Structure formats: C-alpha cells, structure tokens
Amino acid sequence: MRRVVVTGMGVVSALGSTAAEHCAALEAGRSGVGELEMPDVERLSVRIGAQAREFRGEDRFSRSELALLDRATQMALAAADEAVAQSGVSFAGEAGLRAATVIGTALTGMGTIDEAYRAVFQEGKNRVHPFVVPRLMVSGPTSNISMRHGLRGPAWSVSTACSSSNHAIGQAFHMVRAGMADIAVTGGAEAPLVFGVMKAWEGLRVMARDACRPFSRNRTGMVQGEGAAIFVLEPLEAAQARGAPILAEIAGFGMSADAGDIVQPSAEGAARAMRAALEDAGIAPEEIGYVNAHGTGTAANDRTECEALRAAFGAHAERLMVSSTKSMHGHCLGGAGAVELAAVIHALREGVIPPTINFEEPDPECALDVVPNEARRAELRAAMSNSFAFGGLNAVLVARRFEG
C-alpha cells in the first residue's frame, strides 16, 4: 500500500474564493453568515445563510461555458483549477489515463432547477434552456472537472447527503493507495442557497434564524452554506520525485451505516466509523489532537457526536480539541466534508486550530474542549474530520502532518 499525500488544494466558500482566503478567515474566527440575497427571500422564515458572495461565475467563465454550468459546478471548477495549479501536475499524454476524478455532492443543480421551475410555473414559459439536463446532473462537477483537465481514468460522483465529500475523498484515497489510480482529483461542491431548497429545509424545523452555535446550550439549529473544495491526491514517491508541495498525508478512512432512522443520528454508528478510520490509518486514538466535528448546531447532532467521540476515544476525548467550522462557513451539505478537510489540513500545516464561533453557554452533554470563539495555537501530528448524514451514512477521514 502506497502512502498518499495532498499536493494541491482549492477552496471556494463564504469565507473566500481561494484556499488562502478561506483558511485566513478560519484563523480569524470570521463568520461568512449573513442575510440571504435571492428572489422571494421575503417568503422565507429563515433568511440567513453562508453565501459565497465574492464568487461570480461571470468573472471566470465565458458565456457559452456558463450555459452548461450550474453554480455548484462553477465553484467546483474554480477550486479544481486552484488545486491543480498548486500541485503543478500535468495530465498530458499517458498521465491522464491513470488519473481519477471523484467528487461528492448531494443536491447539484438546485439553482438550475429553481430557475427552470420559475420559468415554467411562475412566468408561464413553454420551454426551458436546452442545457437544463446536463446542468442539473449530479455528475456535473465530476464530468466538467475531468474534461477541463484531461482526466481520463476512473470518474464518478458520490451522493450520500452530508457525507458525500468525505465518501468521495475516502474512495479516491483508497484507489491511489491501492494502485488503482496514480493520481486523483477529489473533493465536493454544493450550491443549495436557492428559494426551493431553503423552503424545504424550513419544513424540517432544524434551521437557526440568527447564528449557528454548535455545542452551545442555547443553539437553535443549523445554517445552510455553499462552497467547494478540491484536492489533488497522489503517492508520496511520485510527489517527491517531481518536487511537488506536500500539504498533508491522508492516512485513513472509515465508513459505517447506522441502519436506524432516516434523520436521527446514532452515536454507535458514528463511533464505529471513527474507529474504522483510526484502524485504517494505523493510528492510536491518543495520536489525534484535533477533530473537525460534523457539528451542525442541532441538539440531536451535537449531543450524539459528543457521545460518539467519548465512545471512540475513551479518556482521550477529554484532551481532544473539537471544533465545528460550520459556525463560520455554514453547512455546505454534500460539500461540507471537503470544505472542512481544508480546515484540517491548514491546522496540521500551520498549527492553528479553527474555533467554534458564536459559542455562549456550555452544554453539560457536550462538555468537551470545543475551542470556543478564538483560534488556538497547537502543534498537531494527526487530526480527524467527521461527516454524518441523514440516513445514517457516516464517513470519517484521518490526516497526518507530513514529516518525511
């Protein structure tokens, strides 16, 4: 089995349009949540979200390209361009034949669907744009990234609700480690901040109307966000041979299914995924210094995740730093795990643990070190990223600081 490293990272989020901007905002504890700007927002009872306001597809793509690209795909392409450029890798010739593309997303095409429905039902039009179908396909980000960069190896999309990105990155990691691909471009993207999606989520009664306060006793729910993060994964030997930047090492990946309730999480299922990731990485629980939690800011998730952390880490849970960056960039649904892996990689490289902002009151059922409100300096050897989805679909990544 080959060691797998990250040699490129690109991010678009409510915190910035590059990985550097995203990570700088995390260090500063800056919130990307604000009043939503969208048609019919006055008809929503929840009017806040983490919009990537600085990202404009019109500034990056031609008019003919935009006709084929939903907003989620636009953000995925921008992040992929950044990641590939940083990696310095070329997919020309035979290299492209062994290059995989694995992208996670849960609701790709929601902006396209919203626009088409408005055209037909609200404006009374008899036809929609001829490219509505390719724009809304869940495979849109994968297809467009592979075409843009000449990635001709295995390519597919993963859609497992809020665990989509971690499942995608984990599968890409296993492929490169096992030699099924020589390099992979992987991550996730989501652009759910449209009227129809927001109205649907209101019906679940899990949305906050003021701020996302994970692990705080007075939390009132989650806040939707949009964004994308893409990574280049390759074997350590190949990266070293071409002098590529090595940002971190992906060490392990674990999955589990609760096989229980469609919306209520299971501590036992989440703990099994964490144990599986640690076992896959060959890392003892005590070596993990930081966990980027799923941390949605709902009572059910926060308390269940804290219980699961104690079950997976035992006494070491009391020494773990556990934060939720969703408090800053919102819940990016299928893109969440990728945006959060960027935070983990930054923490490993720079020794800065991103905070859980908006924290006000300790919750006795979440009595862990949640790094409240301010970033913290700490040297890490290894860290974990959790993603737990509706339907009980759990995916956990373990990353390690690269030390040669």
Sign of CA dihedral 158, 161, 165, 169: negative
Conformational region of residue 394, where left means phi above 0, alpha means psi within -120 to 50, and beta covers everything else = beta
- Give the domain CATH number at 218: 3.40.47.10
- Of the candidates 160, 170, 167, which has an alpha carbon nearest to the alpha carbon of residue 138? 160
Asked if residue 15 and residue 104 are part of one domain, the reply reads: yes
Report the alpha-carbon distance of residue 104 to residue 167 in Å, rounded. 7
- Which residues of 99-245 form beta strands (DSSP E)? 99-104, 155-158, 183-190, 227-235
pLDDT given for residue 262 in this prediction: 96
DSSP category for residue 120: I
Burial class (CB in 10 A: 0-12, 13-18, 19+), 315: exposed
Report the alpha-carbon distance of residue 77 to residue 71 in Å, rounded. 10
Question: SS3 sequence, 97-119?
Answer: HHEEEEEECCCCCHHHHHHHHHH
CB 82 within 8 A of CB 18: yes
CB 309 within 8 A of CB 320: yes
pLDDT given for residue 388 in this prediction: 98
Asked if residue 374 and residue 335 are part of one domain, the reply reads: yes
Asked if residue 234 and residue 291 are part of one domain, the reply reads: no
Q: ∠402-403-404 over CA atoms, to 5°?
A: 100
Asked if residue 197 and residue 150 are part of one domain, the reply reads: yes
Asked if residue 117 and residue 84 are part of one domain, the reply reads: yes
Asked if residue 283 and residue 206 are part of one domain, the reply reads: no
Query: Which residue type occupies 376?
Result: R
Asked if residue 224 and residue 285 are part of one domain, the reply reads: no
Residue 247 in domain: no
Any idea how long the chain is? 404
Residue 246 in domain: no
Backbone angles phi, psi at 265, to 5 degrees: -75, 160
Query: Which residue type occupies 283?
Result: I
Tokens representing 398 are 């373990």
Q: What is the pLDDT of residues 188-204, one digit of tens each?
A: 999 999 999 999 999 99
Helix (H, G, I), strand (E, B) or coil at 34: strand
Asked if residue 155 and residue 45 are part of one domain, the reply reads: yes
Helix (H, G, I), strand (E, B) or coil at 69: coil
Number of domains comprising the chain: 2
**Residue at a domain's end among 241, 264, 289:** 241
Backbone angles phi, psi at 97, to 5 degrees: -70, -20
How confident is the chain (404 residues) per 10-residue block, as mean pLDDT? 97 98 98 97 97 97 96 98 98 96 96 94 93 96 98 98 98 98 98 97 96 98 98 98 98 98 97 98 98 98 98 98 98 98 98 98 96 98 98 98 90
pTM to 2 decimals?
A: 0.98
Asked if residue 272 and residue 232 are part of one domain, the reply reads: no
Report the alpha-carbon distance of residue 391 to residue 89 in Å, rounded. 37
DSSP category for residue 121: I
pLDDT given for residue 368 in this prediction: 98
Number of helices (H) and strands (E) in the chain: give both, helices first: 13, 14
Asked if residue 47 and residue 188 are part of one domain, the reply reads: yes
Q: What is the pLDDT of residues 137-165, one digit of tens each?
A: 999 999 999 999 999 999 999 999 999 99
Question: Angle at which helices 71-87 and 140-149 pack, to 10 degrees?
Answer: 40
Asked if residue 174 and residue 76 are part of one domain, the reply reads: yes
Residue 76 in domain: yes
Tokens representing 107 are 């609701």
| Active site (catalytic) residues | 162, 294, 331
Asked if residue 355 and residue 263 are part of one domain, the reply reads: yes
For residue 215, give its domain range: 4-241
pLDDT given for residue 404 in this prediction: 75
Residue 208 in domain: yes
